Amino acid sequence: MNLFEATKPLNNRQSVSISDYFFLNNSDTPTHLANCTFHVLPPKQEYKITVPPLARHFVFMVYGSGSIYHLSGGKDLEQWDCFAYAPVKGNGEKHSERSYTLVGGKEGGGVLILNDSLNVNKGDIDPSPPESPTIVSSYEVTTWSGSGVETKKKATLTGLSDLARPLRNFTRTPNPESPPPLPWNATLEVLLPGTQTSFPHAHSTEDELVIVLAGKARYWCDGEEPEMTLVAGDVVAWKAGTGLCHAILNDGDGPGGSGSNVVLLTIGENKPETDKLFYPTKLKHRRHEHWWWKDVPQHSIGGASDTPHYPRTQDMEYPTWETKARKKYVRSDEDMEL
């Protein structure tokens, strides 16, 4: 599924339900992920939204720019910015109903909206929500970790947003590497040339989906060949318990780290107490019995390489990030043609 293709003017659609497409329509078991919808914001057009009190609400600017307006004023939104509303008390109390308006920027934009009213407990409620949501610049909060093919520049956005206000200790600076225990998370991840999201794996109890924000990536699924190339706007998802093994790789254009970055937004359930993992190309991990998925459904595994074609070496330093700056994605004339 490609979000930009699905919402072209020719298709007469300005929104598409990602959750329905991947989970509701293709499974007898509903997902416990937040309801996930993509909306187009035409230039200068308004989109009004009311957030129910007992709901988590997360908004991510997929491309373009815009603004958010609410009772206390307005704030600008740039590509890959995000904001959120934590659950609050209902029954007509102050802050029980939150309304805001999104307005498309000069060239328009597109937003991902996640709503979740199924996984809310008493401890998740924010007793004193801010007058306006905190805008998190995804690009600025990502941090480096790992080496070689496992090099990452990422941030768990939900843990840095107002969703985590009721759960974190305000006397400490939020840590992108240790987000509060939300039932699902949204994570921005930058793959340098020669790196990958992970080694191919499958989850026993956690649904997962990935949206490509920039670059071209190789999609590894049970090692099947030929493999699919993912581009900006593409979405792939995996239902928990199926045993389908997957990974996303940035092969690079040649040795030495040449090539373009791939930027992903990953949305996944967070069930560390029940989830088990299976790595079809790393069976040595079976010794980790506390998390190894022993009774995984069996699938034949093809011969596709489970590592990048030009792997990033262990001794390579993290690049100076200013030289790897994000590129604005603006829908081309071809995207917008009728």
Residues in a beta bridge with 203: 277
Tokens 């989830």, residue located: 275
pTM beyond 0.85: the answer is yes
What pLDDT is recorded for position 63? Answer: 96
Residue 10 within a domain: yes
Write out the two tokens for 295. Answer: 């009774």
Cis peptide before 166 (omega within 30 of 0): no
Q: In whole angstroms, what is the distance from residue 117 CA to residue 55 CA?
A: 4
One-letter amino acid of 318: Y
Q: 95: exposed, middle or buried (C-beta count within 10 Å: 0-12, 13-18, 19+)?
A: middle
**Close Cβ partners of 15 (under 8 Å, ≥ 6 residues apart):** 7, 37, 38, 39, 40
Q: What pLDDT shows up at residue 322?
A: 52
Q: Is residue 310 part of a domain?
A: yes
Q: How far apart are CA 187 and CA 232, in angstroms?
A: 16
- 156 falls within a domain: yes
CA angle at residue 42 from 41 to 47, to 5 degrees? 50
Cβ atoms of 267 and 33 within 8 Å: the answer is: yes
Domain coverage including residue 105: 3-293+304-314
* 298 domain residue, yes or no: no
Is 26 a member of any domain? yes
Q: Which residues contact 92 (CB under 8 A, 6 or more apart)?
A: none
Which H, E and C letters describe the chain, residue by residue? CEHHHHCCHHHCCCEEEHHHHHHHCCCCCCCCCCEEEEEEECECCEEEEEECCCCEEEEEEEEEEEEEEECCEEEEECCCEEEEECCCCCCCCCCCCEEEEEEEEEEEEEEEEEEECCCCCHHHCCCCCCCCCCCEEHHHHCEEECCHHHCEEEEEHHHHCHHHCCCCCCCCCCCCCCCCCCCEEEEEEEECCCEECCCCEEECCCCEEEEEEECCEEEEECCCCCCEEECCCEEEEECCCCCCCEEEEECCCECCCECCCEEEEEEEECCCCCCCEECCCCHHHHHCCCCECCCCCCCCCCCCCCCCCCCCCCCCCCCCHHHHCCCCCCCCHHHHCC
* CA–CA separation, 112 and 96 (whole Å): 23
pLDDT of residue 129: 87
- What tokens does 197 get? 């999201």
Query: Could you give the CA distance from residue 47 to residue 213 in angstroms, rounded to a whole number?
Result: 22
Number of domains comprising the chain: 1
Q: What is the mean pLDDT of each run of 10 residues along the chain (338 residues)?
A: 85 83 62 84 94 93 96 91 91 66 95 91 84 92 96 95 76 49 93 97 96 98 95 96 97 94 96 94 88 94 96 94 47 37
Nearest to 336 by CA among 77, 40, 65, 47: 40
Amino acid 92: pLDDT: 52
Residue 299 falls within a domain, yes or no? Answer: no
CATH number of the domain within which 268 lies: 2.60.120.10
In a domain, 327, yes or no: no
Using a 10 angstrom Cβ sphere, with 0-12 exposed, 13-18 middle and 19 or more buried, the burial of residue 106 is exposed
Is residue 39 assigned to a domain? yes
- The Cα angle at residue 211 between residues 274 and 278, in degrees rounded to 5: 30
- Bridge pairing between strands 246-250 and 217-221: antiparallel
